[in-house]
């Protein structure tokens, strides 16, 4: 087990949680007390991190929510804050990067050297060579999009190739051929429970990052039931439901209670 997955696994066993808190700051939804504050986004996320870390196995900032506002420096500070205060809790940078090899080298440098993330999400469409700059980082985690949580996911991902859906072809290629450093997992949405179940049956030793719980209406308990494996790993991601649980000065406490309630439901699976 590589160092990222080992850290996640140890954190999950200690805290009895699969929960990954997504950090997707939207200026339109920040709590009222932070409106107009110069460090509003950092202060918001810092307080969310402190409130929920006890119940989380990792954090997952989505890069678009920072880059759109020109807040890349805030993203740097957020990741540094987690690493400094909670070194046992790793950070997945949700970036979905991919391009030709030389450009992917730059993306990998961005994710792992600039932002110092512990893991990243990537797109498999361009093939193994485009992902090698990420997967060659043996101590890092790489989550490959497989069956995503969005409503239009099936338009391409469910198309048949060699008598099986494309997402199955992706999973087989990624896990059976590309995973030479044992540091690759799959992104499989909670909104596709039957696909999740099928993938787990075929790949009991794989790690799954499962978004779509909460605001996207994925069933958390079903996702755990179908995605959990004694040999593999499971990470359940929730963002908006936790982040925006409160709109006033008690927002962090409400986020804490939401994360705690989710973790309480998860305990029975340990």
Q: Domain coordinates of the chain in residue numbers? A: 3-269
Q: Does the pLDDT at position 1 exceed 80? A: no
**Annotated catalytic residue within 16, 46, 77, 96:** 96
Tokens of 161: 């190739």
Q: pLDDT band at 145, cuts 50/70/90? A: very high
Q: pLDDT band at 35, cuts 50/70/90? A: confident
For residue 11, which of 83, 89, 81, 80 has the smallest C-alpha distance?
Answer: 89
DSSP 29: G
Q: pLDDT band at 86, cuts 50/70/90? A: very high
b/e per residue, 99-133, with b = 16+ CB within 10 A? eeeeebeebbebbbeebebbbbbbbbeeeeebbbb
- What's the confidence (pLDDT) of residue 2? 77
- What's the confidence (pLDDT) of residue 150? 92
Q: Check: CB of residue 200 under 8 Å from CB of residue 229.
A: yes
Residues of the chain with pLDDT > 70, as a percent, come to 100
Please identify which residue in the block is written with the tokens 């009895």: 16
Tokens of 187: 């992104």
Q: What is d(CA 148, CA 211) in angstroms, rounded to the nearest whole number?
A: 8
Q: Which residues contact 230 (CB under 8 A, 6 or more apart)?
A: 204
Whole-number average pLDDT of the chain? 96
Q: Does the pLDDT at position 257 exceed 80? A: yes
Residue 189 is inside which H or E element, if any? none
Q: Does the pLDDT at position 214 exceed 80? A: no
- What's the confidence (pLDDT) of residue 153? 92
- What's the confidence (pLDDT) of residue 36? 87
- What's the confidence (pLDDT) of residue 218? 87
Superfamily of domain 3-269: Aldolase class I (3.20.20.70)
Whether 96 is catalytic:
yes
- What's the confidence (pLDDT) of residue 9? 96
Average pLDDT score over residue span 74-92? 98
Q: Check: CB of residue 61 under 8 Å from CB of residue 94.
A: yes
Residue 35 is inside which H or E element, if any? none
Q: Check: CB of residue 111 under 8 Å from CB of residue 117.
A: yes
**Residue 95 exposure: Cα atoms within 13 Å on the Cβ side:** 24
- What's the confidence (pLDDT) of residue 104? 98
Q: pLDDT band at 126, cuts 50/70/90? A: very high
Residues of the chain with pLDDT > 90, as a percent, come to 94
- What's the confidence (pLDDT) of residue 217? 79
- What's the confidence (pLDDT) of residue 162? 86
- What's the confidence (pLDDT) of residue 109? 98
Average pLDDT score over residue span 245-259? 97
Average pLDDT score over residue span 110-134? 97
Average pLDDT score over residue span 121-132? 97
Q: Does the pLDDT at position 7 exceed 80? A: yes
Backbone angles phi and psi of 58, in degrees to 5: -170, 170
Q: Does the pLDDT at position 188 exceed 90? A: yes
Q: Does the pLDDT at position 202 exceed 80? A: yes
- What's the confidence (pLDDT) of residue 192? 93
Q: pLDDT band at 96, cuts 50/70/90? A: very high
């Amino acid at each position: 087990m590589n160092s990222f997955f080992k850290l996640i696994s140890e954190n999950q066993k200690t805290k009895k949680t699969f929960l990954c808190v997504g950090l997707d700051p939207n200026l339109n939804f920040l709590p009222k007390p932070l409106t107009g504050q110069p460090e509003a986004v950092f202060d918001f996320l810092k307080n969310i991190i402190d409130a929920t870390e006890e119940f989380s196995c990792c954090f997952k900032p989505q890069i678009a929510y920072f880059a759109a506002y020109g807040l890349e420096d805030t993203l740097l500070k957020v990741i540094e804050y987690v690493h400094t205060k909670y070194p046992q809790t790793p950070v997945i940078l949700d970036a979905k990067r991919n391009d030709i090899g030389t450009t992917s080298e730059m993306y990998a440098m961005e994710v792992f050297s600039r932002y110092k993330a512990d893991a990243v999400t990537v797109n498999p469409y361009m093939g193994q060579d485009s992902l090698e700059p990420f997967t060659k980082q043996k101590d890092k985690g790489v989550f490959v999009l497989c069956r995503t949580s969005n409503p239009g996911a099936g338009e391409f991902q469910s198309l048949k190739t060699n008598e099986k859906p494309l997402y199955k072809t992706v999973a087989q290629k990624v896990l059976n051929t590309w995973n030479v450093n044992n540091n690759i997992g799959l992104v499989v949405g909670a909104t596709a429970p039957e696909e999740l179940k099928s993938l787990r049956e075929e790949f009991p030793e794989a790690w799954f990052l499962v978004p779509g719980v909460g605001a996207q209406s994925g069933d958390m308990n079903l996702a755990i039931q179908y995605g959990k494996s004694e040999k593999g790993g499971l990470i359940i991601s929730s963002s908006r439901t936790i982040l925006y649980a409160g709109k006033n000065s008690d927002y962090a406490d409400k986020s804490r209670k939401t994360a705690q309630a989710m973790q309480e439901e998860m305990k029975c699976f340990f």
